[in-house]
């Protein structure tokens, strides 16, 4: 039987590409270069399936130009904001993602962002690397203790729930705002707030875990930042589009916000130079799911979805 033709848009872990080559007629991207929309369209017109990351954007215009052969977009990501799901559905293209397998890795990065921000780790590291550590005193580099503080989760999906669990490990009280209240066995004693404002008022640390949607764009802005407790800490491992970065720079500059730990930005790759110029920001280049185990698991999960689809079964992680 002819193997389905699969375009793997970015360089994936070797074990993942080896499994893909066993079961599909694969087109790989060994140079791991980013394809332009025109190149992405040209590649996808010649295959039955594409396995992209969040770096490949499938807008309505791109989807309209894909042609009739492409049947499934099997994302190597849990976020799907890079795909116009309504356009994919209208075009009869199945879309899947890779939930669950990256929750632990991303929660680890959220804790790293929280601690490096709250305890001024980025500032201290930079000071020593610059050869400027020439003084110590009891008042030196005092930060914000997280133990016993309130950890606010905006978006209590899989990643939010695992991150909340890690925060409990630091002796933090978990609060959350979500479209729907969780059942007890998932809520695990966390305090539900049915409004964003209610959550913000009690978040000594606010961690963003909601999807990037048109409704959530810039949800963290000058107005909402002002509703946080004085000298709160912001953590973002979700999507850069959730944050008005100019407003964040303002709040960090005045000290209204004590610090921020960010793994995602409006402009990726690259980040934000104004944020990078501030001492009270810890910055990472979107590595939330970047562990060996997780990237293997994500690749296998995407291939499991493709295998199900081409075997005539419903993919387990279908989102459109
Ligand atoms: C991906 C991401 O995990 O999963 C997501 O939604 O934000 C990304 O971190 C990464 O691009 C690997 O594909």
What is the predicted pLDDT for the residue at 242? Answer: 98
Residues 205 and 149 both lie in one domain:
yes
Residues 259 and 160 both lie in one domain:
yes
Give the 3-state secondary structure of residue 168: helix
Give the E-state strand segments of 190-269 in sequence order: 191-192, 205-208, 232-236, 257-262
What is the predicted pLDDT for the residue at 314? Answer: 98
Residues 138 and 252 both lie in one domain:
yes
- Kindly state whether residue 173 falls inside one of the protein's structural domains: yes
Residues 147 and 191 both lie in one domain:
yes
Cα distance between residue 244 and residue 135, in whole Å = 36
Protein residue with least CA distance to atom 5, ligand 1: 77
What is the predicted pLDDT for the residue at 274? Answer: 98
Q: Enumerate residues 6+ apart whose C-beta is below 8 A from 43.
A: 7, 9, 27, 35, 50
Task: Give me the number of domains the chain comprises.
Answer: 2
Residues 21 and 55 both lie in one domain:
yes
- Kindly state whether residue 71 falls inside one of the protein's structural domains: yes
Which of 113, 104, 105 has its CA nearest to residue 234?
Answer: 113
- Kindly state whether residue 148 falls inside one of the protein's structural domains: yes
Residues 71 and 124 both lie in one domain:
no
DSSP-assigned letters across all residues of 44-87? HTT-SEEE--TTS-B-HHHHHTS-SS--EEE-SSS--TTB-HHH
- Kindly state whether residue 315 falls inside one of the protein's structural domains: no
Give pairs for 252-255: CB < 8 Å, separation 24+. 252/278, 252/280, 252/281, 253/278, 255/231
Upstream peptide bond of 269 is cis (omega within 30 degrees of 0): yes
- Kindly state whether residue 80 falls inside one of the protein's structural domains: yes
Residue of 79, 81, 82, 96 with the most ligand 1 atoms within 8 Å of its CB, for mutation: 79
Protein residue with least CA distance to atom 1, ligand 1: 77
Cα distance between residue 115 and residue 137, in whole Å = 21
Residues 197 and 297 both lie in one domain:
no
Residues 62 and 52 both lie in one domain:
yes
Host domain of residue 53: 5-101+292-310
Q: Are 228 and 207 in contact (CB under 8 A)?
A: no
- Kindly state whether residue 316 falls inside one of the protein's structural domains: no
47: CATH: 3.40.50.720
* DSSP state, residue 153: E
Q: Does residue 288 line the site of ligand 1, with CB under 6 A?
A: yes
Q: How far is the CA of 230 from the centre of ligand 1 (A)?
A: 32
Q: Does residue 157 line the site of ligand 1, with CB under 6 A?
A: no
Catalytic site positions: 239, 268, 286
* Other Cβ atoms within 10 Å of 97 Cβ, number: 23
- Kindly state whether residue 319 falls inside one of the protein's structural domains: no
Question: Mean pLDDT for each 10-residue chunk of the chain (320 residues)?
Answer: 96 98 97 96 98 97 96 98 98 98 98 98 97 97 98 98 98 98 98 98 98 97 98 98 98 98 97 97 98 98 98 98
What is the predicted pLDDT for the residue at 30? Answer: 94
Q: Enumerate residues 6+ apart whose C-beta is below 8 A from 234.
A: 117, 205, 206, 208, 220, 225, 228, 243, 248, 257, 259, 260, 261, 262
Q: How far is the CA of 30 from the centre of ligand 1 (A)?
A: 19
Residues 79 and 27 both lie in one domain:
yes
Residues 138 and 13 both lie in one domain:
no
Residues 273 and 305 both lie in one domain:
no
* Total-model pTM: 0.97
- Kindly state whether residue 320 falls inside one of the protein's structural domains: no
Which region holds residue 6: left if phi is over 0, alpha if psi is between -120 and 50, else beta? beta
Residues 168 and 193 both lie in one domain:
yes
Q: Does residue 116 line the site of ligand 1, with CB under 6 A?
A: no
């Amino acid at each position: 039987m002819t193997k389905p033709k699969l375009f793997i848009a970015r360089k994936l872990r070797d074990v993942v590409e080896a499994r893909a080559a066993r079961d599909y007629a694969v087109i790989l991207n060994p140079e791991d270069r980013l394809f332009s929309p025109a190149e992405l369209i040209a590649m996808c017109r010649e295959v039955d399936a594409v396995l992209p990351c969040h770096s490949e954007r499938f807008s309505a215009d791109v989807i309209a130009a894909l042609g009739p052969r492409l049947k499934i977009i099997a994302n190597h990501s849990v976020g799907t904001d890079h795909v116009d799901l309504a356009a994919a559905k209208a075009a009869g293209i199945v879309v899947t993602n890779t939930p669950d397998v990256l929750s632990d890795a991303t929660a680890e990065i959220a804790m790293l962002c929280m601690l490096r921000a709250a305890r001024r780790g980025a500032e201290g590291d930079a000071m020593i690397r610059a050869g400027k550590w020439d003084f110590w005193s009891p008042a030196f580099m005092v930060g914000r203790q997280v133990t016993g503080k309130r950890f606010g989760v905006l978006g209590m999906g899989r990643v939010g729930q695992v991150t909340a669990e890690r925060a409990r490990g630091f002796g933090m009280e978990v609060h959350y705002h979500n479209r729907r209240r969780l059942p007890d066995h998932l809520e695990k004693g966390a305090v539900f707030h049915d409004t964003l404002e209610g959550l913000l008022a009690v978040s000594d640390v606010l961690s963003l875990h909601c999807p990037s949607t048109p409704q959530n764009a810039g949800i963290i802005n000058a107005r909402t930042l002002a509703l946080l407790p004085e000298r709160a800490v912001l953590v973002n491992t979700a999507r850069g589009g959730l944050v008005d970065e100019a407003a964040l720079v303002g709040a960090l500059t005045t000290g209204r916000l004590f610090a921020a730990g960010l793994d995602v930005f409006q402009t990726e790759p690259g980040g934000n130079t104004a944020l990078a110029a501030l001492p009270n920001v810890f910055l990472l280049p979107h590595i939330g799911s970047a562990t060996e185990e997780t990237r293997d698991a994500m690749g296998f999960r995407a291939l499991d979805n493709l295998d199900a689809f081409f075997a005539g079964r419903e993919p387990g992680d279908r989102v459109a």
